């Protein structure tokens, strides 16, 4: 089975967030997809299958090392750029990607050999509450003074439910997850946490046990865009660059924007560049 290795949210290989894309994987079961993802050891892998709706439409399934995700940002952006490289005829193309939970559109652009860019429309944002968590800073090995006093912690979703945690100063550099956060986050209606320095426009995200840090989190970046717009830190439709991955040695840049006012954020976009790194074939599929 053919696959391509791309780096997302970077304009050069060996930077950004790596991804394995399987462009023709209709015959695989979910168990096989999970096993392949664990074998490849990328943060996530994406598996595509043709859709009868048309040549520019695909079914997509995204897996991380723990299992299947309802939604993700960087795999969809990387997958769309692979589709453009394999099947795109024009400089700009739009691809419809259908996940189990929702469908999204990704617009791609060819920039040079092995270099593409893409913009993912994540749709509207849902604001789900502002929990008052006394021990919030301690979850990340921080002090209460490290939290931004001008911004609230807030749960919101543009596909996955994130607790946005606003920090300031050098808190991002010092942050570490001190305990498994899956149950505490679930108690407040969130699936994941995203630390955001709204002044520096930089974020960090780990899996909930803190073992792995994500290089660039497209789903979290969408929530960051909606959050920044709601709190008037970016303008209506203004595009800004959100940074992530610097502290992993793989600096990444995500272009984000949000359209709307207050809690009425009607559309959120996340985009970035994609660099092609390698192509290969699996010699054998898992049982």
Catalytic residues: 44
Which segments within the chain are labelled E, that is strand?
2-8, 17-22, 44-50, 57-64, 68-69, 92-98, 103-112, 115-123, 126-129, 154-157, 161-166, 192-197, 202-204, 240-244, 252-261, 264-281
Q: How far apart are the first and last CA of the chain?
A: 14
Angle subtended at Cα 26 by Cα 101 and Cα 29, rounded to the nearest 5 degrees: 75
Contact present, 45 and 36 (Cβ < 8 Å): yes
DSSP character at residue 23:
S
Please state, in angstroms and as integers, the Cα–Cα distance from residue 175 to each residue in 105, 107, 184, 246, following that order.
Answer: 34, 35, 17, 13
* Tokens at 162, concatenated: 């994130």
Parallel, antiparallel, or unpaired for β 264-281 and 252-261?
Answer: antiparallel
d(CA 256, CA 250) in angstroms, rounded, equals: 19
- Distance separating alpha carbons of residues 3 and 84, to the nearest angstrom: 14
């Amino acid at each position: 089975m053919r696959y391509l290795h791309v780096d997302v949210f970077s304009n050069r290989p060996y930077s950004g967030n790596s991804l394995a894309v399987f462009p023709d994987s209709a015959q695989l079961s979910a168990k096989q997809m999970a096993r392949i993802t664990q074998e490849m050891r990328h943060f996530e892998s994406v598996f595509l299958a043709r859709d009868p709706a048309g040549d520019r439409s695909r079914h997509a399934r995204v897996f991380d090392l723990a299992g299947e995700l309802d939604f993700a940002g960087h795999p969809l952006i990387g997958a769309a750029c692979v589709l453009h490289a394999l099947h795109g005829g024009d400089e700009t193309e739009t691809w419809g990607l259908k996940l189990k939970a929702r469908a999204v559109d990704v617009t791609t652009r060819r920039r040079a050999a092995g270099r593409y860019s893409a913009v993912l429309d994540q749709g509207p944002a849902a604001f789900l509450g502002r929990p008052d968590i006394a021990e919030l800073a301690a979850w990340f090995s921080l002090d209460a003074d490290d939290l931004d006093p001008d911004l609230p912690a807030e749960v919101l979703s543009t596909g996955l439910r994130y607790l946005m945690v606003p920090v300031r100063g050098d808190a991002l550099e010092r942050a570490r997850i001190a305990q498994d956060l899956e149950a505490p986050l679930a108690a407040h209606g969130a699936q994941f946490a995203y630390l955001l320095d709204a002044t520096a426009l930089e974020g960090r995200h780990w899996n909930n046990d803190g073992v792995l840090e994500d290089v660039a989190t497209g789903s979290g970046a969408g929530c960051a865009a909606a959050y920044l717009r709601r709190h008037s830190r970016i303008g209506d439709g203004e595009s800004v660059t959100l940074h992530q991955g610097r502290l992993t040695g793989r600096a990444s840049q995500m272009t984000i924007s949000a359209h709307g006012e207050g809690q009425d954020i009607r559309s959120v976009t996340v985009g970035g560049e994609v660099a092609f790194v390698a192509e290969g074939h699996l010699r054998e599929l898992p049982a």
